[in-house]
């Protein structure tokens, strides 16, 4: 037990204190607080502690926790913080990354736009099923372990996801469904994937199993549908590999309905079991509308949407562009994007599956681009992709990122390729967590000597 003074919060939300020259990371601690902490782990460079008693409280601390699992689950690094303070902390984090590069010193960094919902916003959950059928555990892996932490009433999950989890547990007990054990490699049910299509609040449930288990899965599906009438689609995915990848290659429908229709703004999207879809629909709409605002389209432009996923940004730009071409490496996502364009009557949208490096050159040669949108995964863009984008010479680039660190790195590379970052707009896609999305606007520098 130690008395610790917290001097700051690190990038993962832990309070940071120094004790006898060693950094101590305190789960749930806030800058400016003094706590009695219990050391839970001692490492060479840093140790970890839990708060036993608050001696001095930060004014930024939330009056009461929205979740009682904070000490056990470290998924929500900022839940102890009042929401306005979370937004200020995220702006500071984005600013710190951007300001590391002198080339970005002129970029305006705006205040973080809040999520429409602070809690209950996650429309998708991919959960591990563990334990025995007599006492099932459904939840997530604890960090750096294979222990499964039960999550029955997650404050971030859409309430219908929590209802499905409770029903699934009861159904597993009743049907004596054998649960997969990774050590013995025996058992049937491995994962439970739940997705809610907003605003209609219809639910899709996917059982990931090692084998067909026809009877067990049909009975479990029926049980869950009776308990939660909003469940419209139940599917099964068979994954008999031994790794931690959730989905296997074989799918089977249990219900007649095989997909759900979700909306972001006035655009509709077809969701199948494997579709990638933003987990916070309200914040996704803010991001897509910000991209449309930054794009400043007149109807004459050709747009390339790189890493387009199922076509969300493409569809938001299609109304105001001459043509939108989406590029995505995942073939299933391209099939979804093509279907979504047809459903939204966006005849000027087309999508191609393939590697960004090869396709961007090809599509650029076909007709250039007035605007290129980049929305890469967390690791950011390969430098070859950025060079190819700059070679097409668009007047504007919009970069959507879920990592301030790789965003800043790539904006710096683009500045060396003739593109000035004008502004960065952070959007809080993931309240209560340390993650933040950013939309950056870049323009071609007309005279590099100037």
pLDDT digits (tens, 9 = 90+) for 333-375: 999 999 999 999 999 999 999 988 889 988 888 888 999 999 9
Same domain? For 152 and 299 the reply is: no
| Assigned token pair, 3 | 């008395």
Q: Is 278 known as a binding-site position?
A: yes
Domain that holds residue 246: 124-271
Residues 121, 139: Cα–Cα separation, whole Å: 18
Same domain? For 330 and 252 the reply is: no
pLDDT digits (tens, 9 = 90+) for 70-86: 667 778 889 999 999 99
Q: In the sheet where 250-253 sits, what is the strand order?
A: 148-150, 135-141, 124-132, 189-197, 202-209, 231-238, 250-253
Same domain? For 364 and 392 the reply is: yes
Residue 81 within any structural domain of the chain: no
pLDDT digits (tens, 9 = 90+) for 432-449: 999 999 999 999 998 644
Which amino acids are annotated catalytic? 402
Q: Is 375 known as a binding-site position?
A: yes
- Which is it for strands 189-197 and 148-150: parallel, antiparallel or unpaired? unpaired
- Which CATH number characterizes residue 186's domain? 2.40.50.1070
pLDDT > 90? residue 17: yes
Number of domains making up the chain: 3
Residue 450 within any structural domain of the chain: no
Residue 433 within any structural domain of the chain: yes
DSSP label at 110?
Answer: P
pTM of the model: 0.92
Domain-ending residue, one of 271, 300, 321: 271
pLDDT digits (tens, 9 = 90+) for 85-140: 999 999 999 999 999 999 999 999 999 999 999 999 999 999 999 999 999 999 99
Same domain? For 185 and 265 the reply is: yes
The predicted structure's pLDDT at residue 268: 95
Would you tell me how many other CB atoms lie within 10 Å of the CB of residue 142?
A: 13
- 357: part of which helix (H) or strand (E)? helix 356-367
Same domain? For 163 and 230 the reply is: yes
pLDDT digits (tens, 9 = 90+) for 214-262: 999 999 999 999 999 999 999 999 999 887 889 998 999 999 999 999 9
Residues 310, 326: Cα–Cα separation, whole Å: 9
pLDDT > 50? residue 450: no
pLDDT digits (tens, 9 = 90+) for 259-306: 999 999 999 999 988 888 899 999 999 999 999 999 999 999 999 999
Same domain? For 256 and 304 the reply is: no
The predicted structure's pLDDT at residue 365: 84
- Which CATH number characterizes residue 306's domain? 3.40.50.150
Same domain? For 113 and 128 the reply is: no
Query: Residue 262: which residues within 8 A CB-CB, separation 6 or more?
Result: 123, 197, 198, 200, 268, 269, 271, 277, 281
pLDDT > 90? residue 66: no
Same domain? For 348 and 290 the reply is: yes
Q: Is 423 known as a binding-site position?
A: no
Burial of residue 420, with CB atoms counted within 10 A of its CB: 0-12 exposed, 13-18 middle, 19 or more buried:
middle
Residue 222 within any structural domain of the chain: yes
Same domain? For 352 and 407 the reply is: yes
Residue 80 within any structural domain of the chain: no
Three-state SS at 293: helix
The predicted structure's pLDDT at residue 380: 95
Residue 426 within any structural domain of the chain: yes
Residue 186 within any structural domain of the chain: yes
């Amino acid at each position: 037990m130690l008395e610790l003074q917290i001097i700051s919060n690190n990038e993962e939300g832990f309070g940071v204190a120094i004790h006898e020259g060693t950094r101590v990371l305190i789960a749930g601690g806030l800058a400016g607080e003094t706590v009695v902490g219990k050391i839970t782990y001692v490492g060479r460079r840093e140790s970890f502690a839990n708060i036993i008693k608050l001696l001095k409280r930060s004014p930024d601390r939330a009056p009461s926790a929205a979740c009682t699992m904070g000490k056990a689950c470290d998924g929500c690094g900022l839940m102890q913080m009042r929401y306005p303070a979370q937004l200020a902390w995220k702006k500071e984090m984005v600013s710190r990354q951007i300001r590391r590069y002198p080339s970005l010193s002129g970029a305006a960094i705006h205040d973080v736009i809040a999520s429409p919902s602070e809690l209950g916003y996650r429309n998708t959950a991919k959960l591990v099923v563990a334990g025995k059928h007599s006492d099932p555990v459904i939840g997530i892996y604890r960090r750096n372990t294979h222990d499964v932490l039960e999550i029955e009433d997650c404050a971030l999950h859409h309430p219908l996801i929590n209802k499905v989890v409770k029903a699934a547990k009861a159904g597993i007990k009743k049907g004596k469904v054998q649960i997969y054990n990774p050590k013995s490699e025996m058992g049937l049910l491995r994962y439970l994937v739940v997705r809610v299509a907003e605003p209609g609040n219809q639910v899709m449930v996917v059982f990931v199993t090692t084998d067909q288990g026809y009877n067990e899965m049909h009975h479990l599906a029926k049980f869950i549908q009776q308990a939660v009438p909003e469940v419209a689609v139940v599917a099964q995915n068979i994954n008999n590999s031994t790794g931690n990848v959730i989905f296997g290659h074989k799918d089977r429908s249990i219900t007649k309905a095989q997909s759900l229709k979700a909306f972001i703004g006035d655009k509709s999207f077809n969701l199948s079991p494997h579709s990638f879809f933003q987990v916070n629909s309200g914040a996704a709409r803010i991001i897509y509308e910000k991209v449309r605002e930054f794009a400043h389209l007149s109807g004459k432009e050709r747009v390339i949407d790189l890493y387009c996923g199922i076509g969300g940004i493409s569809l938001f730009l299609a109304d105001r562009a001459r043509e939108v071409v989406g590029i995505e490496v995942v073939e299933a996502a391209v099939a979804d994007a093509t279907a979504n364009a047809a459903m939204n009557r966006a005849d000027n949208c087309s999508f191609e599956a393939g590697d960004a490096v090869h396709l961007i050159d090809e599509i650029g040669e076909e007709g250039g681009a007035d605007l290129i949108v980049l929305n890469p995964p967390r690791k950011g863009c390969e430098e070859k992709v950025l060079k190819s984008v700059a070679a097409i010479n668009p007047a504007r680039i919009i970069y959507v990122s879920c990592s301030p660190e790789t965003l800043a790195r790539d904006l710096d590379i683009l500045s060396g390729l003739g593109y000035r970052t004008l502004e960065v707009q952070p959007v809080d896609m993931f309240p209560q967590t340390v993650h933040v999305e950013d939309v950056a606007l870049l323009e071609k520098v007309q005279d590099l000597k100037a």
